[in-house]
Every structure is written in structure tokens, then in C-alpha cells.
Amino acid sequence: MRIEDLIRPNIRALKPYRSARHDFTSGILLDANENSFGSVLQLDGLELNRYPDPFQVPLRAKLAHLHGVGVENAFVGVGSDEVIDLLLRIFCEPTRDSIVIVEPTYGMYRVAADINNIRVRTSLLTDDFQIDIASVRDESRNNTKIIFCCSPNNPTGNVLRHEDILSICRHTPAIVVVDEAYHDFAGSESLIRSVASTPNLVVLRTLSKAWGLAGIRLGYCVASPVIISYLMKVKAPYNINVLTSHEALKALEDVDRVRRTASAVVQERERLAQALKEIPYVTKVFPSEANFVLIRCTRATLVYRRLAEQGIIVRDRTSEPKLQDCLRITVGTPTQDEQLIEAMRGLRV
Ligand SMILES: *Cc1c(COP(=O)(O)O)cnc(C)c1O
């Protein structure tokens, strides 16, 4: 399989927009119609009057270094959501091509496909929330260009078996996107280490969860250089703004801090899970490797509503396939979780 053969012909032939900042980044810059007199805001000595760097090399290099890959293997987007959308636009011909998603999972893959008018085929996870390889293979046709998997999976919380994902990569002539948004909370290894040997594998990451930076909108992916080069070609030239890349670079100075935060969340997750198990109407607390816990309980939607009435908002997942009577609860601070448990103990359902 050649990656190039999976790319939409119009994208393969695309001559990307060349911005003023592609050619010169210093000198007397009179080429981009920026405000030469400066900016109305002064923040951290940043030149906010200038368009940002379209190549984002320092940021991509830092992320690449963090994962032991090259800068040519790293792409940054406005959240992973932008990366998902760009991948669809690079590989899938609207109305003709399809993607496969493994449900229940993150809702954005389907929405992004719907927006782009790309057909969605669904394979259900097994009862222990693992990939049903035969069914994924069954759903994958000639026109299937991308298979999305999420590991640890949202909302089930478990890690998908790597050998299953790699087997799909080997046997399916499509791109396999593995969304590792919650990886920092998991005990397992990352699939990033398999990217070098698996040209059709794309691993998605984000600063929105363990890094606690959902507000700055920065996601990224690690993939083979061909895929990265098309992402660079198709993205908006200035997708990552100066403030976001400045803050992200600062955050990346202190990787240990993320590890400490993640392990504090994991510790609290286990405490929360234990407390939830002791609620009489909670019939199951699924094991989690993420920063949330999936539970099954009697009259889940009623529980959801009663909690909301008390200002405690969890996620009702009862209408998702395989998730009858399930709620997804994000790990809070010990105080927040105490309030949740207190409120749940007080409910009569
Ligand atoms: C939260 C989440 C993301 C994060 O998306 P961003 O656009 O990076 O904020 C990505 N994937 C999954 C599965 C998520 O749950």
C-alpha cells in the first residue's frame, strides 16, 4: 500500500497557498499588510502584530523530541479536532469514500465525517470493549480510507489491545488513526513507538486533558512524513496562533509537572471508583485508564437529572450502543468527588 494512493487526487495535485511568512520572517517586513506600528496589546513581549510562523518548527520539534521522533513526524492543530477534520479532507472524497469507527466512542469522528459528507460505517466493540477485528475488516471496503480507534477509549475508559490495532494496520489498506487523548492516564505504552514501522498509522494527542490546556486549543499527531507533509499542505497557513504556541512551548518546558498531575488524577480516579462501587444502585464501575469513570446504574437518566438539579453535571451515555444505563463521570478534585458521592448517596432511585 502506498499512502499517496489513498490521498484524494485534488489534494495530491494541490498547490498550497504561499503566505508572506513562507518566504521571509525577518527584515523590514512590508509584505503581509500587518500593522507596522505595533499591536494594541502588549503581552509577554510577543509580536502580536505579526502573523504566526506557518511551519511551527520549534513547537513541533519539542513535541517530536518528547516522543523520540523527528520533526517531520509531528503536526500541530487547533485541538485534535482540527487534525481529525484535516485527515478526513485529505483522504476521503465526499459522497464516495467512507470511514470506519469503533463504537461506542468519541462523537467527533462521526460529526466531522457528517460535515464533510463522508459515509460512516460502524463496528461495535466486543462486550469487554475491545476491537472486533473481523467486524472492522468486514466494514472496511475499497472506499474505506480511515479507521478511527480511540485508546484509552472515550467513554469506556479502557485501552484497546495494541496487537489488534497493529493487525488492522497491516491488513487493511487504509489509514488507521489512534486517538490517544487520554494516554497520560494509562499504564500502557503509546502506539507512537510503532509509527516508524507502520506508515499508515496516525497517533493523535492533545494538550487538552493531562496538560490541563483545553483552553489554548492545541492537539497534535505523530505519523509518517508523507502524511505530515499533506497535513502541512492542507492546513490553514496560520492555524496555530502566537499565544497558543507561546504558552504550549512554556508548558513543554516542564514535562514532569504533567506526569505529576496525571498521577494525582489517577490516584483520585481509583478513590472515586472505589467510592462509586459502594453506592447501592451502581451496578458496575468499569475499570478506567483515563481521567473519567464509566458506571452502570439503575435508572441512570434519572440519576443524571437528579445530580444536575444539585448542580453536579455528569455525562449521560445511556443512548450509546452497549452503554444502556451508563453514565460517564470525569474525575474531579477530592472535594468535588466528595460532593458527588455525597449527592449520589442521598438519591433514592
Ligand atoms: C477530549 C478528547 C479530545 C480532545 O480534543 P481537542 O480538540 O484536542 O481538545 C480528543 N479525542 C478524544 C477521544 C477526546 O475525548
Average pLDDT value for the chain: 97
CA gap 88, 109 in Å, rounded: 9
Ligand 1 pocket, mutate which of 101, 209, 217, 320 (most atoms under 8 A from CB): 209
Q: 176 CA distance to ligand 1 centroid (A)? A: 17
- 179 touches ligand 1 (CB under 6 Å): yes
For the segment 5-47, what is each residue's pLDDT rounded down to a tens digit? 999 999 999 998 888 888 888 899 999 999 999 999 999 899 9
Q: 181 CA distance to ligand 1 centroid (A)? A: 6
CA gap 44, 345 in Å, rounded: 48
Candidates 115, 91, 98; CA nearest to 223 is 91
C-alpha cell at 127: 462486550
For the segment 80-120, what is each residue's pLDDT rounded down to a tens digit? 999 999 999 999 999 999 999 999 999 999 999 999 999 99
Q: 234 CA distance to ligand 1 centroid (A)? A: 21
- 54 touches ligand 1 (CB under 6 Å): no
Q: Which helix (H) or strand (E) holds 148?
A: strand 144-150
Q: Whose CA is nearest to atom 5 of ligand 1?
A: 80
Give me the phi and psi of 150, to 5 degrees please: -125, 125
Q: Whose CA is nearest to atom 3 of ligand 1?
A: 181
Residues in Cβ contact with 326 at an 8 Å cutoff, skipping those fewer than 6 apart: 155, 294, 295, 296, 300, 317, 318, 320
CA gap 149, 146 in Å, rounded: 10
For the segment 151-175, what is each residue's pLDDT rounded down to a tens digit? 999 999 999 999 999 999 999 999 9
pLDDT value, residue 26: 87
Residues in Cβ contact with 59 at an 8 Å cutoff, skipping those fewer than 6 apart: 76, 240, 245, 248, 249, 252
* Residue at grid coordinates 494525582: 264
pLDDT value, residue 246: 97
What's the rounded mean pLDDT across residues 246-271? Answer: 97
Report how far apart the first and last C-alpha atoms of the chain are (Å, whole number): 55
Q: Whose CA is nearest to atom 10 of ligand 1?
A: 181
Cα 339 to Cα 138, 307, 312, 332, 333, distances in angstroms: 46, 10, 8, 10, 10
Give me the phi and psi of 130, to 5 degrees please: -105, 170
For the segment 191-248, what is each residue's pLDDT rounded down to a tens digit? 999 999 999 999 999 999 999 999 999 999 999 999 999 999 999 999 999 999 999 9
- 80 touches ligand 1 (CB under 6 Å): yes
- 330 touches ligand 1 (CB under 6 Å): no
Contact of 217 with 247, CB cutoff 8 Å: no
Q: Identify the band that residue 129 occupies on the pLDDT scale cut at 50, 70 and 90.
A: very high
pLDDT value, residue 87: 98
Q: Whose CA is nearest to atom 6 of ligand 1?
A: 79
Q: Identify the band that residue 141 occupies on the pLDDT scale cut at 50, 70 and 90.
A: confident
Domains and CATH numbers, the chain: 3-19+54-253 (3.40.640.10), 256-345 (3.90.1150.10)
Atom of ligand 1 lying closest to residue 207 CA: 8
pLDDT value, residue 142: 87
pLDDT value, residue 175: 98
